[in-house]
Amino acid sequence: MSTANEKQRLLQQRDALRARLESIEADYRRGLDADSKERAVQLENAEVLEGIARVTSEELQQIEQRLEQLISDED
């Protein structure tokens, strides 16, 4: 794979991961529902979202590091 293709692929992945994190953050900002049953489901989902956010952040960090390498190699 050429450097330009790899860079383009990584930029697309980075943008998708950023969008995923923004969606998770928006979900947290909405807060909990007043209905106790719905709130219980939301609390269960919060644990899953927390895990997804952590893994997404780690992957995003790796992609950004690789992009920095590619950019510095261009110089």
Task: Quote the CA–CA distance of 64 and 17 in Å, as a whole number.
Answer: 11
Mean pLDDT (whole number) for 47-71: 95
pLDDT at residue 58, rounded to an integer = 97
pLDDT at residue 66, rounded to an integer = 95
Mean pLDDT (whole number) for 60-73: 93
**Is 58 exposed, middle or buried (CB count within 10 Å of its CB: 0-12, 13-18, 19+)?**
exposed
**Reduced to 3 states, what is the DSSP secondary structure of residue 33?**
coil
pTM: 0.82
pLDDT at residue 71, rounded to an integer = 87
- The per-residue pLDDT for range 16-47, each reduced to its tens digit, is 999 999 999 998 888 888 888 988 888 888 88
pLDDT at residue 74, rounded to an integer = 78
